[in-house]
Amino acid sequence: MVGAGPAGLMAAERLAQSGCKVTIADKMPSPGRKFLMAGKSGLNLTKVEATSLFHQSYREAEPWLRPMLAAFGPDDVQNWARNLGQEVFTGSTGRVFPKVMKASPLLRAWLARLEGLGVDLRKRWRLITLEGTTAVFDTPEGLRRASADVLVLALGGASWARLGSDGAWHEWLPGEAPFQAANAGLSVDWSHHMRPFFGQPVKGVALNAGDLTSRGEFTVSSRGLEGGGIYSVSRGVREGAPLVLDLFPDMSEDEIATRLNRTRGKASLSNHLRKVLKLDGVRRALVQEWLRPMPAVDVLAKSLKSLNVPVSGLRSMDEAISTAGGVRRDQVNDGLMLLDRPGVFVAGEMLDWEAPTGGYLLTACFATGRWAGDHAVQFAAKTA
């Protein structure tokens, strides 16, 4: 097993539970680094919603992932966490978190279980190439070759290289779909007037980019926009759609216009917006930033419902939460074994699928790792 993220650990668990002797190799000094980082602001394990809606979030990859998600979906993720001693709760949006909100207790319990199953973890072992099912590693003791009956790769995508996912494996495993940033922040060239609002959250708006919509919160940063609401629609921006904000998703254009036409007196337009529309400081700043010069009232009402955001692009791939691209569907069989490398299975973000944040990413990593592990067990049994 190569890679000690959620997909790799899940595959290792399934192999060990079947009675296989399992060694995990990871190039980092400690396992699960991206998993731990994801849990710093609250580990969103999965999401509770209608199965059809959950599956639709994987878009074109949904037919491929469907059996894996059916075998290990949101309910299974929650039960798995509970079995590791971590109680979970479901938030108002359906997102599921450990009650402690952190990843570290869950990871510690998981690693303890794996150790109890006899799994051997080798740290600072960097995979540099494959020779059949023999893996060649650069280790603190020099080059090492490790042969196995089956090999499961969960090497990640190409984001957050400092945490271990740099996509370098494409150099010796060619043919994958090119990597692209996913769940990424957006770059915006601000005027100096926006500086007082850096770091402030924007709430209560709707975002749209192509056929993607979101009601999530996001943050104004010195380099642009970031946060869950932005990540949910960043794919649309990546594919060329404009980003449009509806600052009043629960109010009609006519109602906005009626409020704007109330007597203004000597109040500035900024104060008028604050009084009649309850428009807070950061949203007023965005209006003034992107609607210069300010249009007439009838046009302003429409603009507040469809405010175009002048995005200069996505943030770099290494800053993205995840990446699109990777090992294509036509490179593996139904059990996630590479067609041209019998006995070598792949899982997690190495595969060519993408999903929004909100529990979808982790669930699919767990599900594909479990699927690859189970099919690796079957392959090993047939070739024993």
Task: Indicate the residue type of 116.
Answer: G
pLDDT at 269: 81
Domain ranges of the chain: 6-181+318-383, 186-314
Most confident of 35-44, 95-104, 285-294: 95-104
Give the CA dihedral 105, 91, 56, 337, nearest 10 degrees: 10
**Pairwise CA distance, residues 308 & 290, whole Å:** 8
The pTM of this model reads: 0.93
Q: Look up the CATH number of domain 6-181+318-383.
A: 3.50.50.60
pLDDT greater than 80 at residue 384: no
**Pairwise CA distance, residues 201 & 33, whole Å:** 27
Average pLDDT over residues 102-107: 94
Digit-coded pLDDT (tens) for 329-370: 999 999 999 999 999 999 999 999 999 888 999 999 999 999
Digit-coded pLDDT (tens) for 161-208: 899 889 999 888 888 899 999 999 999 999 999 999 999 999 999 999
pLDDT greater than 80 at residue 41: no
Report the share of the chain in percent with pLDDT over 90: 83
Digit-coded pLDDT (tens) for 254-302: 999 999 988 888 888 888 888 899 888 999 999 999 998 888 877 899 9
Digit-coded pLDDT (tens) for 360-372: 999 999 999 999 9
pLDDT greater than 80 at residue 64: yes
**Cβ-based neighbours of 275, under 8 Å, separated by 6 or more:** 267
pLDDT at 376: 98
**Pairwise CA distance, residues 214 & 245, whole Å:** 10
Chain mean pLDDT for the chain: 94
Q: Which residues pair with 45 in a beta bridge?
A: none
